[in-house]
Homo-oligomer: A and B are copies of this chain.
Amino acid sequence: MGRRSSHTPQQLKDLILEAAYEIIEVQGLAGLSAREVARRIGYSPGTIYNMFENLDDVVLRIEARVLDALDERLVAILKEAGDDRTKVQRLAQAYLQFTHEKPKLWNLLFEHHLPAGTELPVWYQEKLDHLLTRVEEALTPLFPAGSEQDRNRAARVLWAGVHGITSLSTADKLSIVSTEAAGRLVDDLVATYLAGLPKN
């Protein structure tokens, strides 16, 4: 059939991504389908495949938006004035808050798996590395010069630790009842871990 296009390719891509974003935000990855996206934007399913390689490609671009949104928040905190340890605490709390605000979108990053044999794109790994860099930055004043390796290990441990708390708490798998309780665990992790670092 075919009809005269009423959208530029770029507009069409954005339309698709917006629709996918909304579906995931409300219903999670399980609610997403190419056919549902097509229905919402008033195009046929085939159109999705004219604009993107496949559904995984669409999902990966939503993930990119989520990673960028979190990065913005972390950057804003790093710009604030404040005590070094407090800044690390704020980063951790910002992560927790972000995941509790948009749990389905955040969960997407861990629910979604590429088919076996497919690797995450390089730009995706770079975005992850970038987030880790924000934590490393905040930790720099707490480590003596030349101990980048220790600092980077600490950044990974704290990052993963906060991730574990948020992940188990949003999944209701930590036998805690509230977001506040999760916040206390995050505070405790950061405070106690930092207190346990070798003095310098």
Contacts and interface: CB of A to CB of B under 8 A. Distances in A.
Given A157-B188, A193-B192, A197-B192, A175 B132 contact: yes
A171 interface: yes
Interface string A137-163: 000000000000000011011011111
A196 B196 CA distance: 3
A176 to B, nearest CB: 7
A124 B125 CA distance: 34
Nearest to A173: B128
A183 interface: no
Contacts of A196: 191-197
A196 B153 CA distance: 16
Contacts of A156: 165, 174-176, 185
A174 to B, nearest CB: 6
A9 B147 CA distance: 62
A171 B63 CA distance: 15
A110 interface: yes
Contacts of A185: 153, 156-157, 160
11 contacts: A153-B185, A156-B174, A157-B185, A160-B164, A160-B169, A161-B164, A161-B165, A161-B189, A163-B168, A192-B193, A193-B196
Which 8 residue pairs are nearest across A and B when measured between Cβ atoms? A164-B164, A196-B196, A195-B196, A161-B161, A160-B164, A192-B196, A163-B164, A160-B165
Interface of A: 27-28, 30, 109-111, 113, 116, 120, 125, 128-129, 132, 153-154, 156-157, 159-165, 167-169, 171-176, 184-185, 188-189, 191-197
